């Protein structure tokens, strides 16, 4: 009987340690740069992501380059110059990073589309996955069409 209790206690300890090791940390500085490097852009709402191609997932894979990358904001542009996205970090929690994804209109005119996206990753070496969030930020009002294929849970 004692050996069963001992084995159970050991199993519980090992399980809690394994779960603690899986906790994902996000950087405290240069967050926009981190997002640009680690974002799986195929997980963005359909209005913002490029057409899916085999073995391509990040901005770099799709030929985007970062312009004006700051502490909490960045502008990325496709190598063709035909597509530009602005990413602004709105909030960061242990549960993920809220960003405003914006596609400016032509010639820097009015904003074509923008939405709030919650970015998360499952492990410390994984890519950030995005899903449209129902959380609203005054700095990022919804503009354009909402993604009807967004996760039904909708984020926090």
Residue 120 lies in a domain: yes
Q: pLDDT for 18-71, tens place per residue?
A: 444 445 688 888 999 999 999 999 999 988 888 888 999 999 999 998 888 888
Element (H, E) at 89: strand 84-93
Residue 95 lies in a domain: yes
CA angle 63, 64, 68 (to 5 degrees): 150
| pLDDT of amino acid 15 | 45
pTM above 0.95, yes or no: no
Range of the domain at 111: 25-132
Residue 98 lies in a domain: yes
Confidence of residue 100 (pLDDT cuts 50, 70, 90): very high
Residue 141 lies in a domain: no
Residue 2 lies in a domain: no
| pLDDT of amino acid 22 | 46
Q: Number of folded domains in the chain?
A: 1
CA angle 46, 51, 56 (to 5 degrees): 110
Residue 63 lies in a domain: yes
Mean pLDDT of 133-145: 87
């Amino acid at each position: 009987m004692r050996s069963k209790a001992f084995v159970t206690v050991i199993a519980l300890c090992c399980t809690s340690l394994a779960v603690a090791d899986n906790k994902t940390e996000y950087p405290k500085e240069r967050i926009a740069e981190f997002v640009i490097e680690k974002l799986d852009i195929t997980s963005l709402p359909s209005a913002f992501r490029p057409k899916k191609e085999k073995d391509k997932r990040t901005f770099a894979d799709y030929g985007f380059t970062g312009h004006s990358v700051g502490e909490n904001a960045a502008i990325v542009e496709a190598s063709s110059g035909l597509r530009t996205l602005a990413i602004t970090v709105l909030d960061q929690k242990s549960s993920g990073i809220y960003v405003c994804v914006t596609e400016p209109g032509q010639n820097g005119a009015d904003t074509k589309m923008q939405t709030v996206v919650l970015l998360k990753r499952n492990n410390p070496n994984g890519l950030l996955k995005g899903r449209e969030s129902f959380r609203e930020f005054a700095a990022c009002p919804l503009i354009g069409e909402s993604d009807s294929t967004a996760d039904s849970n909708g984020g926090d």
